[in-house]
Amino acid sequence: MPSSVRSVNPPARLLMGPGPINADPRVLRAMSAPLLGQYDPQFRAYMRETQELYRQVFETKNRSTLLVDGTARAGIESILVSLIEPGDVVLVPIFGRFGHLLCEIASRCGADVRSIETPWGTVFTRDQIADALRTHRPKLLAICQGDTSTTMCQPLEWLGPLCREHGVWSYVDATASIGGQPLRVDAWSLDSVSVGLQKCLGGPSGISPITLSDAMVERIQTRWHVEAGIRPAGFTPGTGPRIPSNYLDLAMILAYWEQGLNHHTEATSMLYAAHECARILLEEGLEAAFERHALNHRAMRTGLTAMGLKLYGDSANTMRNVTGVFIPDGVHGEAVRQTMLEDFGIEIGTSFGPLAGVIWRIGTMGYNARKDCVLQTLASLHAALRLHGFRPTSDGVLEAHACY
């Protein structure tokens, strides 16, 4: 081994961007627990516990609430690849970068993708979605709840009933919002949702909780096929086409979780992490967690405004855990981010597409949705701005502190 290769010893960072964020120490401790075999009775018990915990997180009674091994994108792809058949019309309302991602994934599944767009920094009205459903008559509507690229949160309370009225399946990517603001799967009649741990849930990226309605499960199971090496005697395949991904085949993954039919080796430590993320959130209480995120978001926005900075987007529909702020004229946004990281040990985010170099994105989420993190970030940003020639009207700290 080369002498230059050292053990992993990352520098101390306060991650105040749009995610990932610093994992809760309790989650990191859970991940260090001893490994168990995937069919050990105790591990299967942990799997069942995790399912029940996420039913509460998602506010659902869906039996098919489980984890897909892989980052949040694995959860997205597992649902889309297991539902979409070539030629199916899929409607994607785009209000940021991650709507384009849903189009990309759906098109790779062979969908006939139709999209509607609203200017970045805004969200869709019910009437806009209803008009698009009437025009395109899709099989599936796929949408994000929160899109961190624009810091906007799409209202969803009416989405499920609207889709069912039109005979359309609904899918929601709530990776950026779960745990930070309400996501009421049953009350909102949502057919499928996938999320990740690395934002408001306060964990690492690497596993994706999902939930599926009973009706969607029935549809997916029409594509039920089992690979030859594990096929049980007397197996009868589904009548639909085989799901084109083996790893993300939800029909087989569901059988693995619910019947113990072998499919993959479970990511043991990541399941421990997901279990602890949900346990911590539910111990705090969902409504208390939503209010904590709202409070710290409000304090951050108050402090930034007090500095003389301009906030980005429709304030009525901003996410509770990410703030977009315009980079002041004459200030090099990446240089300020570099100073924040190298001199103050704090990461804030840039953005994508038309917002690249236009706004910073500052997160207040999960374990980092705390007063000390907010105040430290504001004080450091004030100093970094001064180092780069901008004179804020205030450091924003006292104004933010007053919010608490």
The predicted pLDDT at position 2 comes to 67
The predicted pLDDT at position 233 comes to 86
Contact 255, 263 (CB under 8 A): yes
The predicted pLDDT at position 167 comes to 98
List all residues 6 or more positions away from 206 whose beta carbon is below 8 Å from its beta carbon: 69, 70, 71, 197, 267, 270, 273
Q: How far apart are alpha carbons 307 and 304 in whole angstroms? A: 5
Q: How far apart are alpha carbons 7 and 18 in whole angstroms? A: 28
Sites in the chain below the pLDDT cut of 70: 1-3
Contact 106, 92 (CB under 8 A): yes
The predicted pLDDT at position 1 comes to 58
Domains in the chain, CATH or no CATH each:
25-282 (3.40.640.10), 286-402 (3.90.1150.10)
Summarize pLDDT for 302-332 with one digit per residue, the tens.
999 999 999 999 999 999 999 999 999 999 9
The predicted pLDDT at position 234 comes to 84
Summarize pLDDT for 206-249 with one digit per residue, the tens.
999 999 999 999 999 999 999 988 888 888 899 999 999 999 99
The predicted pLDDT at position 392 comes to 95
Confirm whether pTM is higher than 0.85: yes
* 349 phi-psi bin (left φ>0, alpha ψ -120 to 50, beta other): beta
Q: Nearest 5°: phi and psi at 179?
A: 90, -15
The token pair at 293 is 């995120």
Q: Which residues are 172's β-sheet partners?
A: 143, 193
